[in-house]
């Protein structure tokens, strides 16, 4: 029997890895558990992802794309008259509204880079991707600071079991922006 054409298999495997990690944590992730979740032969997972780290890189990269895309698509970030602190706080609120489970998974993948050096460049891509967009409205150092602050606020809410506080976030982001410089050329 010939090989079945399945152009979406790689993506289904990544999606399955995210579901498995969401349900069982990264510790529950294996080629076998992902193959079962994706309903593909075990050999398919190892064909597309030689190691578990390769699969984690792909899962983290897909997880990262969402927030950076949301920031990029928000046209008001290009509007120099818009309240950047308010817009970012609202964006973070939209992101948090997707549900605690999704945020927990994203941070678990993100923080896995502490023990898995292969994930560090991908985690850094997320920070840099958001910072690049924010540089349209502020200087590079402030953009990095805003990313760090947003990360910290989300992580604190997750760790304490608290709710996302948009007003607090807006105030803290505003404080960082108060002493920022406009990007060059603006």
Instruction: Provide the pLDDT for residue 185.
Output: 58
- Residue 4 clears pLDDT 80, i.e. is over it: no
CATH superfamily of 1-50: Homeodomain-like (1.10.10.60)
Instruction: Provide the pLDDT for residue 39.
Output: 94
pTM: 0.81
CA distance 44 to 34: 10
CATH code at 61-178: 1.10.357.10
Residues of the chain within CATH 1.10.10.60 domain(s) are 1-50
Please, what is the Cα angle at 59 between 56 and 60, to 5 degrees? 85
Residues of the chain within CATH 1.10.357.10 domain(s) are 61-178
Predicted confidence (pLDDT) per residue in 56-66, tens digit? 999 888 887 77
Instruction: Provide the pLDDT for residue 2.
Output: 43
CB atoms within 10 A of CB 30: 16
């Amino acid at each position: 029997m010939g090989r079945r054409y399945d152009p979406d298999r790689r993506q289904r495997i990544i999606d399955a890895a995210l579901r498995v990690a969401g349900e069982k944590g990264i510790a529950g992730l294996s080629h076998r558990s992902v193959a079962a979740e994706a309903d593909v032969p075990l050999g398919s997972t190892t064909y597309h992802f030689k190691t578990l780290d390769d699969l984690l890189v792909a899962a983290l990269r897909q997880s990262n794309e969402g927030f950076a895309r949301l920031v990029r698509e928000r046209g008001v970030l290009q509007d120099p008259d818009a309240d950047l602190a308010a817009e970012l706080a609202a964006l973070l609120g939209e992101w948090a509204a997707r549900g605690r489970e999704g945020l927990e998974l994203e941070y678990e993948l993100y923080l896995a880079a502490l023990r898995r050096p292969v994930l560090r460049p991908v985690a850094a891509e997320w920070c840099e991707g958001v910072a690049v967009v924010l540089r349209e409205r502020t200087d590079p150092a402030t953009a990095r600071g805003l990313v760090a602050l947003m990360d910290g606020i989300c992580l604190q809410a997750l760790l304490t079991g608290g709710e996302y506080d948009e007003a607090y976030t807006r105030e803290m982001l505003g404080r960082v922006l108060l002493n920022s410089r406009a990007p060059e050329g603006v």
